[in-house]
Amino acid sequence: MPLGQRPGDKSESRYCGVETEFHDDMPHLLTESLSGGFDFIVAPLIDPSYRPSSTSNGGSGSLVLPVAASDLILSPSQWSSHVVGKISSWIDLDSDDEKVRLDSEITLKQEIAWASHLSLQACILPPPRRASCGNYAKCVNQILQSTNNMQLWLRVPLEKSEPMDDGSANANSDFSGGRMFDSWEWWNSFRLLCEHHSQLCVVLDILSSLPSNNSIGRWFGEPVRAAVIYTNSFLTNARGYPCLSKRHQKLITEFFNHSVQIVISGGLLHNISGESIKALPANDDDSHLEVMPTRHALRPYLDYIAYLYQRMDPLPEQERFELGYRDFLQSPLQPLMDNLEAQTYETFEKDIVKYSQYQRAVCKALIDRVPDENASTKIMVLMVVGAGRGPLVRASLQAAEETGRKLKVYAVEKNPNAVITLHSLVKLEGWEDIVTIISSDMRCWNAPEKADILVSELLGSFGDNELSPECLDGAQTFLKADGISIPSSYTSFIQPVTATKLYNDVKSHKDLAHFETAYVVKLHRVARLAPSQPVFTFTHPEYSKKSNERYKKLCFEIPSDSGSAVVHGFAGYFDATLYKDVHLGIEPSTATPNMFSWFPIFFPLRTPLFVPTGSPLEVHFWRCSSASKVWYEWCVTSPTTSPVHNSNGRSYWVGL
């Protein structure tokens, strides 16, 4: 029974599971859990008392594992949809005791083989028992190489010890070589040993005490599939029902937003005999809960988790539109080299926010250029360069009507297919006396007169990556000396991110070129490790004939309470000033609300970069050009050095 349903939300986080002990009667166990409201169980597949070395096969060469029963007790769909296997917690593949180690290796392989036979979607691996887990990872990596579709979820506690005021560590700290314990480093070491395998994921054990928000934030870029919350982590509200601290509530909500499933584990610790909580989603007050009968002992905790899910705000329309694009790599558009298709125009033209900002900018420019006393007589020349199918033409004419100013408009467009639509639009709207359509590349058009205002929408996700500088440098030849360009300037930004899914998607191509390509992507399951910083700025008009090539060195400081981190690449954004105080952009701290024309850009690193606590991250970015193309190069020089990516534009470039 899903926790709830928000419009457009079909993520796995709607389903909640329960962790169970080994049970001889799996059908009863599953029926009890499903009828109690849970969607799946996390269950041991083999009797935990089993040890291969203590089992005699009588010399027959055969061995019957002590599993709950045969695979026939449940249907294939039940095994696949409602059971997550739990590998025996006693195994220790890095034990100094050879007998324990060998027993562990045999058992791990046997249990995974049985789970694969049952067609389970996933099995949970027990946490590493020590920082050095080389043999454990080696065995898991071997299994991953031969497993078809089943995922292996490594279980780790969400824990990072912090120093106390007196300089000592918390009571639960585990010092290794003088360092405080950080479970993220367990995970990072393990996945490095397993070569970042895409079927290796994480299950987080949520404890009653949580690390800092920055430390937690690292996990949102990792492949976290489930979070186990124990009943002893729940508090008791005024009415005696289980509830969670505000920090735990916020964390669970973030998990929901990142498609992380919740699993409840432990025994009933709240004395609610025969009763359960039914959530009322409208209020933030834990006392607004109803009571109803139940059969499952842990139903009160399930209902509280459902309450947290149901009180979340509905997904905004924009988010629902973007769901299918989350963490999906797309090649950036090349509108200068290629002619856009009708569907692409159609998508961007629906962005009402973008064009309302342009209309505001043109309004302000017209008011500044034409005093009220000249409004009825002075005609301003406005050129829309890269007019597409006409949305900026419409926005400019609406600005003229709003301000009571007069316009003469030139719509310059190189795409002959879009020009057909422009002619139809002008005729339909009766703009023949106002709008002149020019079918030409703006860089080589000989304008019959100079413009007062030059309007363009040539910006890409990284600002200049669709060659706005080169295009506007050509177009400004027909702008008056005191003319206005809208936009007047734009700046690109980057920030380091952990993005395991994106890295694995790039790695799956198994070539260098894809690691040296920038992608447009709706970032979702990423950890933003530090605030973004500006890279390249372009201003228009630009009469100094300054080169459009650029170089920037940046130094990022990852917050010290985050702990160590891994950088898979850099997220890129832009912020543009259209005119004076009218801006447009996707840089997170200043992003224009409800605008969907641009997703961020992602620059991957060929090798994920480990950044120890307190180490600065030094990054270099270049914008390079030749007679026929523009491209970016990037590298890291601290804490370690990477190769320069995309040297000479060998893998990725934008055609002039």
Q: What are phi and psi of 520, to 5 degrees?
A: -85, 130
Tokens of 260: 């992380």
Tokens of 290: 């109803």
Q: For 342-457, which CATH superfamily applies?
A: Vaccinia Virus protein VP39 (3.40.50.150)
Report the amino acid identity of residue 518.
A
The pLDDT, as a whole number, for residue 71 is 84
Model pLDDT for residues 306-315, shown as the tens digit of each residue:
999 999 988 8
Going by C-alpha positions, the residue among 357, 355, 380, 356 that lies closest to residue 367 is 380
Going by C-alpha positions, the residue among 222, 230, 227, 166 that lies closest to residue 191 is 222
Model pLDDT for residues 199-219, shown as the tens digit of each residue:
999 999 999 999 999 999 999
Judged by average pLDDT, the poorest of 83-87, 316-320, 471-475 is 316-320
String of DSSP letters for 16-67: EEEE----S-HHHHHHHHHHTT-SEEEEESB-TT--GGG---TTSS-----B
Kindly compute the dihedral angle of the four CA atoms of residues 115, 120, 122, 125, in this order, to the nearest 10 degrees.
Answer: -20
Residue 550 has pLDDT above 80, yes or no: yes
Tokens of 251: 């964390």
Which CATH code fits 492-655? 2.70.160.11
* β-strand partners of 498: 527
Mean pLDDT of the chain: 90
- For the chain, the straight-line distance linking the first and the last C-alpha, in angstroms and rounded, comes to 55
* β-strand partners of 185: none
Asked if residues 200 and 137 have their Cβ atoms less than 8 Å apart, the reply is no
Model pLDDT for residues 276-294, shown as the tens digit of each residue:
444 444 344 554 444 444 4
Asked if residues 584 and 357 have their Cβ atoms less than 8 Å apart, the reply is yes
Measured distance CA(379)–CA(406) in Å, rounded: 5
Calculate mean pLDDT across residues 247-267: 95
Measured distance CA(422)–CA(257) in Å, rounded: 42
The pLDDT, as a whole number, for residue 544 is 84
Calculate mean pLDDT across residues 115-129: 94
Catalogue the E-assigned strands of 116-223: 122-125, 151-157, 200-206
Residue 552 has, within 13 A of its CA and on its CB side, a CA count of 18
Going by C-alpha positions, the residue among 397, 404, 402, 408 that lies closest to residue 451 is 408
Measured distance CA(302)–CA(304) in Å, rounded: 5
The pLDDT, as a whole number, for residue 333 is 79
| Model pTM score | 0.90
Going by C-alpha positions, the residue among 477, 490, 484 that lies closest to residue 538 is 490
Instruction: Please tell me whether 413 is known to bind a ligand.
Output: yes
Burial of 537 (0-12, 13-18, 19+ CB in 10 A): middle
Q: Where in the chain are the domains?
A: 12-49+67-162+174-234+254-267, 342-457, 492-655
Asked if residues 307 and 281 have their Cβ atoms less than 8 Å apart, the reply is yes
Asked if residues 267 and 19 have their Cβ atoms less than 8 Å apart, the reply is no
The pLDDT, as a whole number, for residue 160 is 85
Q: What are phi and psi of 617, to 5 degrees?
A: -115, 110
Residue 173 has pLDDT above 50, yes or no: no
Calculate mean pLDDT across residues 138-157: 94
Q: Would you place residue 515 in the very low, low, confident or very high pLDDT band (cuts 50, 70, 90)?
A: very high
Question: Where does residue 360 fall: left (phi above 0), alpha (psi -120 to 50 degrees), or beta otherwise?
Answer: alpha
Measured distance CA(656)–CA(649) in Å, rounded: 13
Residue 58 has pLDDT above 60, yes or no: no
Say whether domain 12-49+67-162+174-234+254-267 belongs to CATH 3.20.20.150: yes
* β-strand partners of 633: 622
Asked if residues 337 and 655 have their Cβ atoms less than 8 Å apart, the reply is yes
Active site residues: 457, 466
Calculate mean pLDDT across residues 457-465: 95
Going by C-alpha positions, the residue among 398, 355, 381 that lies closest to residue 436 is 381
The pLDDT, as a whole number, for residue 149 is 87
Tokens of 405: 């100013």
The pLDDT, as a whole number, for residue 261 is 96
The pLDDT, as a whole number, for residue 547 is 93
* β-strand partners of 645: 634
The pLDDT, as a whole number, for residue 274 is 46
Q: What are phi and psi of 189, to 5 degrees?
A: -60, -45
Of the two residues 250 and 318, the one the predictor is more confident about is 250
């639509």: which residue's tokens? 421
Give the pairing of strands 527-528 and 601-611.
Answer: unpaired
Tokens of 602: 């992602």
Instruction: Please tell me whether 345 is known to bind a ligand.
Output: yes
